[in-house]
Amino acid sequence: MAEVVLFHHAQGLTPGVETFAAELRRAGHTVHVPDLYEGHVFETLEEGIAYASRTGFSAIAERGVTAADRLGGGLVYAGFSLGVVPAQRLAQTREDAEGALLFHSCLPVTEFGEAWPTGLPVQVHGMDGDPFFAGDGDLDAAKELTTGTEGAELFVYSGDQHLFADSSLPSYVPAAADLLLRRAVEFLDGLG
């Protein structure tokens, strides 16, 4: 089974992120969920983004890298939205990365190198009407990453919610979240 490090989104380590990690564990995988916000959890996305901005987005990403360093190698790097930054960075720069799961966000591959690592499996998930994913260029970056990349999959769900897979938030969309979880588990099962 896979060993995963799962990075939370801008609202912090919410009960919904913990629930998602628990579902992956229930499927037989080892999942680590570092708290990049040092205990802070926010009611709204705007409050969480403001906290990350005050703290420094690069400082938040470095916390993710440090957390992964403590775990060793051979990991699948996963992230929700803001958590995609350390997840994608680690997946693209660690030779021993096993895969990547990018939820609600995707950065241009050139952010962390010239190309996606050959043979490294990746899934990207987001909604077609999400103003962040579809409107801020993440969907375009995901299409660029997955087009012609072996082992890369892009799943686009119908809807306009950003953090639709977090069951503790008002943006939660159960049907889409269940499908995302099922696809993520299948991805992880296929790595072993």
> Where along the chain do its domains lie?
3-189
In the prediction, which pLDDT does 114 show? 86
**pLDDT 10s digit of each residue in the chain, 192 long?**
999 999 999 999 999 999 999 999 999 999 999 999 999 999 999 999 999 999 999 999 999 999 999 998 899 999 999 999 999 999 999 999 999 999 999 999 999 988 999 999 999 999 999 999 999 999 999 999 999 899 999 999 999 999 999 999 999 999 999 999 999 999 999 996
Find, among 14, 34, 18, the residue nearest to 26 by Cα: 18
Q: What is the pLDDT of residue 54?
A: 96
Q: Write out the two tokens for 189.
A: 């099962």
Buried b (16+ CB within 10 A) or exposed e, 56-71: eeeebbebbeebbeee
- Prediction pTM value: 0.96
- What is the reported pLDDT for 56? 94
Number of H helices, E strands in the chain: 6, 6
Q: Report pLDDT for 148.
A: 84
Q: How is residue 133 written in tokens?
A: 């994913």
- Determine the Cα–Cα distance for residues 82 and 59; give it in Å rounded to an integer: 12
Domain 3-189: give its CATH superfamily.
Alpha/Beta hydrolase fold, catalytic domain (3.40.50.1820)
Indicate the residue type of 35: D
